[in-house]
Amino acid sequence: MNILLDANICLDLLDTSRPTSKRSVEWYLANKDNEDYLFFFSGDFITTFYYVLTEKRKYDPKATLLAIDALSDEIVPHYITHIDFKNAKEVFFSTVFEDYEDLLILSSASRIDTTLFVTNDKKLLQLRQFQNIEIVAP
């Protein structure tokens, strides 16, 4: 089963002082060794991780890069393509869900046959499903 972790989940794993971190970390630790699961995150989030952790949280830049690298060794970075952009744009103009950035991530998740999208985003959780992807909280 392919599982895509949203940026907020990965930030919880990288910065355990966040309010949602405890639940995210517990969920990930309970599931990470399941051989039926393959974990992904959008590699396009790497710049966001670095910015949030170094500029907003004031973490050491070198330690931050090492933490992101360790995350990338355990959770596979998956990158957005132009096809994802086109698919997300089509969905954006034809549905009531109006968060294009989230649609872009979900479109890329769909391309790799993601079954489960794990997030703390309340709007996404209300969506519950996108195509064949179930959207759940940790």
- Map out the domains of the chain as residue ranges: 2-136
Whole-number pLDDT of residue 59: 96
Whole-number pLDDT of residue 97: 81
Token code pair at residue 46: 């790497």
Whole-number pLDDT of residue 51: 97
Q: Which residues of the chain, if any, have pLDDT below 50?
A: none
49/53 Cα distance (integer angstroms): 6
Token pair 């670095």 in the structure block, residue: 50
Whole-number pLDDT of residue 1: 97
83/33 Cα distance (integer angstroms): 32
Contacts of 111 by beta carbon, 8 Å cutoff, 6+ apart: 81, 83, 84, 87
Query: CATH number of the domain at 2-136, please?
Result: 3.40.50.1010
- The pTM for the full model equals 0.94
